[in-house]
Amino acid sequence: MSRSHGEFELIRRLAARVGECEAADVVGIGDDAAAVLRDGKWLLLTCDIAVEGRHFRLGKAAPADVGWKVASANVSDIVACGGKAEHALISLGVPPHVSEDQLEALYGGIAEAAQSYGFFVLGGNVSRSQELIVDVFMTGTAQRFIPRGGARPGDRIALSGPLGDSAAGLELLDVRQRAAANDHENRLIRSHLRPRARDDLVESLQQGASAAIDISDGLSSDAGHLAEASGVRLDLERSRLPVSPDLQAFARSRDAAHWKWVLHGGEDYQILFTFPREHDPVFEAAGIAVVGEVRAGHGVYLDGEMLIPEGWDHLAE
């Protein structure tokens, strides 16, 4: 099968092979998590894989950091659908060059995440592989399922926090050791190695969000997924996008604008979401930045110009 169209075209083609579940109590392919309605509550199901050399590099990232991050990525998917993470299964592909001590450290990072987010690891599977592979399957629950496809014209667009820090941290890891970095660079590196899923926002999202997606592949790409799923146009305002002081300092040190990292950097695990205006008080109280408005139409626009998706593609060279 040709992969010339990238990750999401492949997903569409594979989804067509297995067919769509049309039951009213099931949410299938196309959101951050799948869901099944059980006894008036949504059971959320998601999975995420991290492959050595593709998603992380041992030596640049400690095994415990890898464990924390892949667990947090799954928690973020659960949060984006309005839920709380509850249980996880972990599958490992173990290569000869990874020691048992490293694997125990990896599980130490997963255990830290489990304690912090409040989920339990119930089991998993292990196999031999050519590189270290960590695959997490996670479940959660939500009183109300929040889809990518619920945005409507007139809704506000909001971001749960600043973007671009993780991508900048990755660049720093590529060029230097952590011990050589200054304070703001250390914080950027930590944003990449130890991102925090926004589980603190679940209650607010439940109260008012009409659509949501987590920022794992970059704003320019993930906003496009939400706009396409909802059949709407997202109009973003550059001046409203939250940017951390650390990223601003990093950009100044390179005599560059910070927008490359803000718009196209991934793995921040912030939440992009929409909500009707009557819920302004809910999100003002949560300190959420309103960054634009949903309008009739298609695509994503930044200050009136179409925003081309340039975020992460898991199948790109």
State the chain's mean pLDDT as an integer: 92
Q: Other CB atoms closer than 10 Å to residue 136's CB: what's the count?
A: 24
CB 138 within 8 A of CB 75: yes
Across 161-175, average pLDDT: 93
CB 212 within 8 A of CB 149: no
% of the chain residues with pLDDT over 70:
92
CA dihedral 146, 149, 155, 161 (to 10 degrees): 60
Note the residue count of the chain.
317
Single pTM value for the model = 0.92
Confidence of residue 316 (pLDDT cuts 50, 70, 90): low
Cα distance between residue 40 and residue 286, in whole Å: 27
Residues 6+ apart with CB under 8 A from 210: 146, 150, 151, 152, 155, 273, 274, 275, 276
Q: Which residue matches tokens 């489990």?
A: 114
- DSSP code at position 303: T
- pLDDT exceeds cutoff 80 at 315: no
Instruction: Write b or e for each residue in 167-194: b if 16 or more Cβ atoms lie within 10 A of its Cβ, otherwise e.
Output: bbbbbbbeeeeeeebeebbbbbbbbbbb
Output the CA angle 13-16-22, nearest 5 degrees. 145
Token pair, residue 25, equals: 């109590």
Amino acid at 207: Q
Tens digit of pLDDT for each residue in 176-224? 654 556 899 999 999 999 999 999 999 999 999 999 999 999 999 999 9
Q: What are phi and psi of 227, to 5 degrees?
A: -60, -45
* Sequential DSSP letters for 89-125: EEEEEE-TTS-HHHHHHHHHHHHHHHHHHT-EEEEEE
CB 75 within 8 A of CB 107: no
**CA dist list (Å): 110 to 154, 180, 194:** 40, 27, 11
- pLDDT exceeds cutoff 90 at 21: no
What domains lie within the chain, and their CATH numbers?
Answer: 7-142 (3.30.1330.10), 156-306 (3.90.650.10)
Closest by alpha carbon to 234, among 242, 224, 243, 244?
224
- pLDDT exceeds cutoff 50 at 88: yes
Token pair, residue 178, equals: 């952590």
Tens digit of pLDDT for each residue in 218-274? 999 999 999 999 999 999 999 999 999 999 999 999 888 899 999 999 999 999 999
- pLDDT exceeds cutoff 70 at 7: no
